[in-house]
Amino acid sequence: MREQYIEAVLAVADLIPPARVLSYGDIAALLENGGPRQVGAAMAAQGSDTPWWRVIRASGQAPQGLDAQALEHYRQEQTALRGDTSPTAGRTPSWRVDMKLARWNPSDTEFDQIDAIAESLRVLDGSDATMSEPHDGLQV
């Protein structure tokens, strides 16, 4: 995976305030690049201080296999949750983040920051460049 994409995903994740979340798909949409799986792979590749627990599945489930660690963070940050958060030894947790209450809605200033991050990806991809004249020997 391109390092620039990973950095862009992490930069957006770093903007998410405590007690707020975005889904993998939300970040892909904000960047106008990749999809939920690519964002998930970028988050998995990270080895930084990025608040990984704030990037979750669209269903409100914590990142796979990290339920217990994420729940600690959610409780500490007072993230809106729904369902039973009691220990579930050997079972799939029945709690989720309440996406209606916890989904982050960036301010205009934060959207400007996200747009700058997304723009840097487009420039690196060359998708922001103007089309050149074809050099295939054909006349139009």
- Predicted pLDDT of residue 56: 97
Q: Record the pTM.
A: 0.83
Q: Which residue type, as a one-letter code, is found at position 140?
A: V
Concatenated DSSP letters for 48-59? SS--GGGEE-TT
Contact 54, 16 (CB under 8 A): yes
CA angle in degrees (0–180, nearest 5) for 50-56-62: 100
Most confident option among 104-113, 114-123, 129-138: 104-113
113/100 Cα distance (integer angstroms): 24
Please report, for the chain, the start and end positions of each structural domain, with discontinuous segments joined by +. 3-125
Indicate the burial class of 22 (C-beta count within 10 angstroms; 0-12, 13-18, 19 or more).
buried
- Predicted pLDDT of residue 25: 97
Residue 37 scores a pLDDT above 70? yes
Residue 95 scores a pLDDT above 70? yes
53/21 Cα distance (integer angstroms): 8
Q: What are the pLDDT digits (tens) for 1-10?
A: 489 999 999 9
- Predicted pLDDT of residue 48: 72
Q: What are the pLDDT digits (tens) for 8-31?
A: 999 999 999 999 999 999 999 999
Share of the chain above pLDDT 90, in %: 66
Q: What are the pLDDT digits (tens) for 119-139?
A: 988 875 655 444 344 444 544
Q: What CATH number should be reported for the domain whose range is 3-125?
A: 1.10.10.10
